[in-house]
Amino acid sequence: MNSDYLVGKVIGNRYEIVEKIGSGGMATVYKAKCHVLNRYVALKVLKDSLKFDPEVVKKFNTESRAAARLSHPNIVQVYDVGESGELDYIVMEFVDGITLKEYIQNKGRLSWSKACDFAAQIGRALDCAHANNIVHRDIKPHNVLMARDGMLKVADFGIAQATSSETLVAGSGGMGSVHYISPEQARGGFTNERSDIYSLGVVLYEMLTGEVPFDGANPVAIAITKLEQDPKDLRIINPEIPDRVAEIVMKAISKEQHLRYQSAAAMVSDLEAVIGTVHAVSEEIEDRFETKRINEQQTKEEYAMRRNTRNKKRQQIKRNRLIVLAVLAALVIGILTFSFMSGGAQEYQVPDLTNMTLEEAEATLEAAELRLNEKIEYEPSDEVEEGRVIKQNPGFNQYVKKNRKITVTLSSAGEGADLKIPDVENLKYEDAKKRLEVQGFKCELVEEFSETIQYGYVIRQSPKAGEDAEKGDTVKVYVSAEEETPEVEQAVVPKVTGHTESEARSLIAAAGLMVGEVETQESESVEGTVIAQTPSAKTGVEKGSKVNIVVSRGMSTPTPTPPQTPVAEMKRKTLTITIPDDANETVHIKVVANGKTIHDKTHAKSEGTVDIVVQSSKDASVQAYIDGKLVVDRVISFD
């Protein structure tokens, strides 16, 4: 079945396709009726162009099953993941509404209070997913559905990860994604929960202004702009946006991961706080514009005071401008002096890693185009939580060359004291090994097949996370391995046509094969000679496969005509039938002459042509069929 044309079909003996409601670079979405639970669902079917890529199909199923574990009012619920024939599909909650992208296009821009409310709903969905170790990686208004009651629901959790490498190249779909992905995604760097927070910040920016912060002629241009430039201040586009709301947006879309919100919950908390000020502000505005009796003398005095205040403000602005120009001039001179003293080489500022976990420090350094030294030092501390950075070398605010390795010292319980085993389940093996080794443990790999955990990822660990251990202890990590496929020994079919049946049997056995069906047919070849074989010679097959042969039984002796009965003189002509190149390995040939079947046998494609003798005392009307298809229909003249 074609994944783009399923309306009217029943999938999995359960889901009747009602209508097509959407299509993207990876899947086609249908509205379907579930006949078991008598409800409407959304059926997302993997595109035909991707179903032959085993890696994509594997990720599609694995990540979708992971997403099915999520349960939250702001997340589209995944009910089932299945396969029907050649179709891979996901059954999801059907949301009767439109996408957030369509809503923004209809409205142009939203009020700041509604935009913050929508962003908070998306943030709560992300917080639920991140708590379950699922990162969306493709948050955009196209993937957010709006129900008729205004409730937002985020879709495609886990699905985006299956094709994350295609976000910049999948036609118009990629063009949409690149506006919202984080800078680290654009340059192929480390992504985590804060990458989703960046995308949410871009969505909030668009809801408030009707524009995306970065745009360009093509995905590459957009990505470069995102890496090199700062977004336009959204208050210039929409002056009605409160300063606090603008601060939330700019923090969320910071280029540096460590400067963004460290969790979706923290961003939601700020959004809820600013939403809570709406009613208070409204009451204050009403009081401010309450109708009052105006005293004329008081009005003149207030006008004079406002004029003096404006003059003072203008003078202060002029002074501020001069101060700013002086500071900028000094800064430029300092930068030029520093560049001259350092030989003109570009250097990078070392960020502050204090109190960060090892993973946070590594991500922060990567964003600053620096690297973490693989050799981790440990030092006991009563002030810093175990496993977090106490100090670093080079230190904060120093300038170093690109890709310089920064050495960090982590807080520990002291040499020889008990440590806690870190959690490495569901991580890639390479990441799990690194996390264990940098915290002073040895890593032992045990491969194990799993139907649910993606290949190369940790299924479980022993000892378990959180257990006490000493530095140098060994942690076994059980990693999902590829299912072993037994090697099949191959053989080449020998040519046995032209040999006697006995010789043919010997040749077939010598090749490690077996003799299958043996048929006999009338033929002009010497009796006992093999005239056809299946499979044909030189075909590669599994060892132990069967080879079918057809053996000639010669020509039958015609019954002599009694001499006393005069008969018409019989004449013979040969009809040659050519077997088509695209025919199967064996074909059935039937020949009818003057309404009588004169040949009805199976032949091997390797014969190429078959000669049929037609006998008649007069012209013969001959029809020939190959596998039931008429290939010859003509009159053979015997004059």
Positions marked active-site: 138
Using only the alpha carbons of the chain, give its radius of gyration: 39
Q: Given 3-state DSSP classes, what are the helix, strand and coil percentages for the chain, each rounded to the nearest 5?
A: 35, 30, 40
Cα–Cα dist 77/68, whole Å: 7
Classify residue 459 by its DSSP letter: E
CA 385, CA 611: separation in Å to the nearest integer? 91
Nearest one of 516, 384, 492, 374 to 433, comparing CA atoms: 374
Distance (Å, whole) CA 633 – CA 340: 94
Reference 436, options 455, 416, 417, 462; nearest CA is: 462
Say what the alpha-carbon torsion angle 313, 318, 323, 326 is, to the nearest 10 degrees.
170
Helices 171-178 and 219-228, packing angle to 10 deg: 10
* Among the listed residues 462, 352, 346, the one whose alpha carbon sits nearest the alpha carbon of residue 398: 352
Backbone φ and ψ for 136, nearest 5 degrees, come out as: -70, -50
Rounded Cα distance, 319 and 310, in Å = 14
* Token representation of residue 109: 């821009």
Backbone angles phi, psi at 534, to 5 degrees: -145, 125
Q: Which of 156, 143, 38, 30 is nearest to 84 (CA)?
A: 30
